[in-house]
Structure 1
Amino acid sequence: MNRIIRNTQQETNMSLDDTSHPGRPGPDELVPSRYALKVGEIDVLVVSDGVLPLPTAMLAHNADPAVRAAWLHDMFLPPDAFDWALNVVVVRSGGKTILIDAGLGADPDLHLPRAGQLIKRLEAAGIDLASVTDLVLTHMHMDHIGGLLVDGVKERLRPDLRIHVAAAEVKFWESPDFSHTSMPPGFPDALRSAAKRFVNAYHNHLRQFDEEHEVAPGVVVRRTGGHTPGHSVVRLASAGDALTFAGDAVFAVGFDQPDWHNGFEHDPEEAARVRVRLLRELAETGEMLVATHLPFPSVGRVAVAGDTFRWVPAFWDY
């Protein structure tokens, strides 16, 4: 993969026209699906894998339905179901091209045709799958690993691809516990199946870590737990600048209602503690945040708002 953002007019496989201007969609898209930025000397590309339409109860199954409905009304969101964004990040640092999470892929039994767009959108951005040296998984829910299970994808990846994932995550999916989740029918079975298929297909590529691991210069993955036992976040830091990809530690509702339990959280109470700690850290440092399910491109910062927090989206840079 060539540099995501060029400092010269020299042509590369990933052109400035194709990636750095988020307002220019692909030929078959009405809206942009990728957004480029730099974190110091690290190149970053946020890529949309599409959207997941899910019941609004998934946002807060421990909240009073009337309170949840009021929040949705105040946010001008529909009361029953709305589209969750799916964001993936590509990072270039130290000669490595790193994919953080791999999107949903294709699961026809769940009828989610608007998600699973990652592979074609990487291609549209000029990113050859064979150029990816490392993959970091925030966790092994199917919307983070499914892109690698699409027919023909594995054959296009490097034979020496390194997949970095917390050891606790791999262990958990040997016999996953869904007793504290609150998911729509079909999702637990689909999650189990995707995780099993993924481990079977990629076990030789797994590079497991316990708590923290540096993948490339300035690219550090750290286990948080909560959402799943091995859930991790990835911090990019270079030249005094920093950005954290939070995976599923933070959802759109999590800033002003951080104690609301998401339906996909396997340990919702710990997930809430993880969320509050992370948001406090980011509010104190002023560092950037990107997360899987915040509205694309989800680049922004966190501010304190009384006892809770406030999401401050970045101004898009054209």
Structure 2
Amino acid sequence: MDFELTPHSVRMGTDDLVPSRYALRIGEIDVLVVSDGVLTLPGAMLGHNAEPAVRAAWLDYNFLPTDTLDWGLNVVVVRSGDRTILIDAGLGDDPNLNLPRAGQLAHRLEAAGIHLASVTDVVLTHMHMDHIGMLLVDGVKDQLRPDLRIHVAAAEVEFWTHPDFSHVSMPQGFPDALRAAAKRFAEEYRSNLQTFEEEHKVAPGVVVTRTGGHTPGHSVVRLASDGDRLMFAGDAVFAVGFEHPDWFNGFEHDPEEAARVRVRLLRELAASGELLVATHLPFPSVGHVAVDGDAFRWVPLFWDY
């Protein structure tokens, strides 16, 4: 079924207690941000290289608990020309990690009138399980097109053949779950993979670029049309990263490089004024970046009803 992603055409399902999708246009490109739910994770993962008291003070300043933190989990659907592109695919089924509030993507896409069979392309920022999980849910592959193209950096596919977890700071059980999900994904979708080295044009106005850092093949997706621009930054940017871009996130496989990537992207966004959407910013995570002294400032977009 065809769909038009405009603020007035998207209706909330009766099962949604809070808004879970937000539509906007980038020139001639339709964009829909969809919430896959939230991940409740230890607060220490927010910046495991920061002094605990400093990290706790930041959380308290933002009226957040210091022991656990709810991370948003956002996915984007893009319509460019005759292509319907899913950028990342959410958590899917909870792999025994006590994340019951995520994994909402499949039914939220259906509620928005987006059928899996209409998706022509999937772009993966990386292969962590909260970005590939819906594709592994029982019955999902049978609903997808046989000629579905899944775009992912070649370095990402290679990394997950022998992943390095020596620099992460994850809760127990996560490394094994991440390995298992990535291995299963590579096996089940090998014939659909369209790998690229550094940069690849997916559709008119839709370009994916490898950044590395978070994972070796981590990538961002840039949309550009009629002078409008938006970057989907995946896991390169977290809520604390504007004020403390040097804080390491627990899921970063190369945290020092991830911090360098984060600063570079934030500087680019502040200079260009383009919109930012990122996986783990609070939904709908659409906004601008401004320079604030030696750090940055997040400026959420005013919602367009």
SS at match of 1:189: helix
Is it true that 1:48 corresponds to 2:48 in the alignment? no
1:113 Cα deviation (Å)?
A: 1.1
Offset from partner CA, 1:256-275 (integer Å, 9 cap, x none): 00000000000000000000
Q: Does 1:2 align with 2:2?
A: yes
Residue 139 of structure 2: aligned partner: 152
Identity %: 78
**Letter in structure 1 aligned against 2:230:** L
Amino acid at match of 1:237: A
Contact 1:4/1:45, CA 8 A, preserved across alignment: no
CA shift, 1:32, in A, is 0.9
Task: Note the alpha carbon deviations across 1:74-128, whole angstroms, 9 max, x for none.
Answer: 1111010021000000000021000000000013411211100000000000001
User: What corresponds to 2:226 in structure 1?
Assistant: 239
2:264 maps to 1:277: yes
* Contact 1:234/1:244, CA 8 A, preserved across alignment: yes
Per-residue CA deviations over 1:159-203 (Å, capped at 9, x if unaligned) read 000000000000000000000000000000000000000001000
Equivalences for residues 70-85 of structure 1 within 5 A: 70-85=57-72
Alignment-derived partner of residue 190 in structure 2: 203
Q: What is the match of residue 155 of structure 2?
A: 168
2:173 corresponds to: 186
**Distance in 1 between residues matched to 2:300 and 2:8, nearest whole Å:** 23
For 1:97, the equivalent position in structure 2 comes to 84
CA distance in 2, matches of 1:39, 1:256: 27
Identify the residue that residue 300 of structure 2 maps to in structure 1: 313
Q: Secondary structure, in 3 states, of the residue corresponding to 2:53? A: helix
- The separation in 1 between residues aligned to 2:163 and 2:255, in whole angstroms, is 15
One-letter code aligned to 1:5: L
1:214 aligns with 2:180: no
Query: Deviation at 1:65?
Result: 0.2
Structure 1 runs of 4+ with >6 Å offset: none
Partner of 2:44: 57
Please give the secondary structure, in 1, of the residue aligned with 2:285: coil
| Cα drift, residue 16 of structure 1 | 3.9
5+ residue gaps, structure 2, are none
1:225 aligns with 2:212: yes
> Do the aligned residues in 1 keep the contact of 2:3 with 2:113 (CA within 8 Å)?
no
- In structure 2, the residue corresponding to 1:184 is in which secondary structure? coil
Question: Which amino acid in 2 is paired with 1:177?
Answer: D
Counterpart AA for 1:234: V
Give me the whole-angstrom Cα distance separating, in 1, the residues matched to 2:288 and 2:4: 22
2:25 is equivalent to residue 38 of structure 1: yes
Query: Helix, strand or coil: the match of 1:269?
Result: helix
In the alignment, is residue 126 of structure 1 matched against residue 113 of structure 2?
Answer: yes
The secondary structure found in structure 2 opposite 1:110 is coil
Any idea what SS the aligned residue of 1:109 has? coil
Distance in 1, Cα, partners of 2:140 & 2:8: 26
SS in 1 for 2:96: helix
Contact 1:106 1:147 in 2 (8 A): yes
Q: How far does residue 30 in structure 1 lie from its aligned partner after superposition?
A: 1.1
Partner of 1:139: 126
TM-score under structure 2 length normalisation: 0.98
Amino acid at match of 1:28: D
RMSD between superposed Cα atoms in Å? 1.0
C-alpha contact (below 8 Å) 1:26/1:32 kept by paired residues: no
Paired residues in the alignment total: 305
Amino acid in the other structure paired with 2:32: L
TM-score calculated relative to the size of structure 1: 0.94
- Residue type of the alignment partner of 2:192: H
How far off is 1:52 after superposition? 0.3
SS of 1:69's partner is helix
